Structures are given as C-alpha cells and as structure tokens.
C-alpha cells in the first residue's frame, strides 16, 4: 500500500523522466516540446528498440538450442557416457579427499602472482612516478618477501615427510 508521500515521489520521478525524454529528444532532433502528455506517448516508442533487441536475442538463443537438439547426434553406446580427458580413460572415482596443502599452495600462488600485476603497472608508469614510486615499490616487494620468508619458516611450503608437523604449527 502506497502512502501519499510515496505517490508524490513516484509522480515526481515520472515527471523528471518525461522531462529528460523531452529534453533529449528536443536537443537531438532540433525541436523543443514541454508537453508531458506528448512525452508519455513518446516513452513507449523510445523503448521499442530495446524490447525488439531482447526478443531477437531470446529468439536466436531458442533457435540455436532447438537446432542443436534437432540436428544433434543421438546414439547410446557404452563409451558415450564415460569420462575421457586428454586421451586417457579415467580410473577410480572423482570423489577423492585432497590435502589442504593443495589449497594453501593455490592461495599462495594467487597472492604472490597478483604482485606481478602491481609491479607491471609500476613498470609502465616508472618515469612518471619518479623516486617516490621507486621507494614505494621497494616497500611493496619488501613486504612480499617478508611474507614469503614467514611462510617458508613456518613450513607452509614444505611438502616432505615432516610437513604435517609444520602444518600443525600454522594452525
């Protein structure tokens, strides 16, 4: 249920929208009109290209899906449903428990690989940044090296037999 204040705000918003339409059409087409009723009749005519584009996209997507379904191959052989990747038939199940160290290494890669984007951006703007930029990138690389040394000392990068003790120290 709308209140009188909400109705007034909605009416003001519609009036502003119509005035924007009048102004944009008037300046683009070289004519000026201040009649809001005329703008209300123009509003649907302005939206029809967008509606037509949306309908064309939906029709094209439906046609592509329909054609692929109608013209596609239909055969059921034993090998059709089996997973096959890179020429190797898979063995076993895909539901294996993976060590948390794989995820840690992935996170470390993202963190330490992101630095390359920042350093590349700094290298592009090297001349404009001057000595201040040089000092800032040295601090940035220093913090990254300190983080890498910390992870190394804590054993987060160890994959050997003693890695389980190092992983407990991180927790």
Q: Report yes or no: 138 and 126 within 8 Å, Cβ to Cβ.
A: no
pLDDT tens digits, one per residue of 122-170: 899 888 888 998 999 999 999 989 988 988 888 777 776 665 555 555 5
Class of CATH domain 100-170: mainly alpha
Q: Which residues contact 1 (CB under 8 A, 6 or more apart)?
A: none
pLDDT at residue 28, rounded to an integer:
47
Q: Which residues contact 154 (CB under 8 A, 6 or more apart)?
A: 166, 169, 170
Q: For the chain, list the strands marked E by DSSP.
A: 84-85, 88-89
Q: Report yes or no: 5 and 16 within 8 Å, Cβ to Cβ.
A: no
Domain extent listing, the chain: 8-69, 100-170
Q: Report pTM.
A: 0.40
Q: Return the residue matching tokens 């890179």.
A: 86
Q: State how far the alpha carbon of 140 is from the alpha carbons of 27, 108, 114, 130, 147, in Å.
A: 51, 16, 12, 16, 11
Per-residue buried b or exposed e for 11-46, using 16+ beta carbons within 10 Å of the residue's own CB = eeeeeeebeebbeebeeeeeeeeeeeeebeebeeee
Which residue from 156, 155, 115 is spatially nearest to 139, judged by alpha carbons?
Answer: 115
How far is Cα 170 from Cα 155, in angstroms, rounded to an integer? 8
Of residues 113 and 139, which shows the higher confidence score?
Answer: 139
pLDDT tens digits, one per residue of 35-59: 555 555 656 667 788 889 999 999 9
Q: Return the residue matching tokens 């199940």.
A: 93
């Amino acid at each position: 249920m709308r209140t009188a204040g909400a109705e007034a705000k909605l009416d003001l918003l519609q009036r502003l929208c119509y005035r924007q339409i009048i102004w944009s059409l008037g300046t683009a087409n070289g004519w000026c009109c201040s009649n809001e009723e005329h703008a209300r009749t123009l509003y649907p005519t302005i939206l029809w290209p967008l509606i037509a584009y949306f309908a064309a996209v939906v029709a094209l997507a439906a046609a592509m899906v329909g054609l692929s379904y109608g013209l596609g191959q239909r055969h059921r052989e034993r090998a059709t449903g089996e997973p096959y990747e890179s020429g190797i038939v898979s063995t076993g199940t895909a539901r294996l428990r993976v060590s948390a160290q794989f995820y840690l290494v992935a996170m470390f890669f993202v963190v330490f690989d992101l630095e390359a984007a920042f350093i590349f951006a700094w290298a592009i703007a090297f001349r404009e940044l001057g000595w201040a930029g040089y000092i800032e990138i040295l601090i940035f690389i220093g913090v990254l090296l300190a983080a890498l040394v910390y992870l190394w000392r804590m054993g987060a990068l160890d994959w050997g037999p003693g890695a389980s003790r190092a992983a407990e120290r991180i927790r």
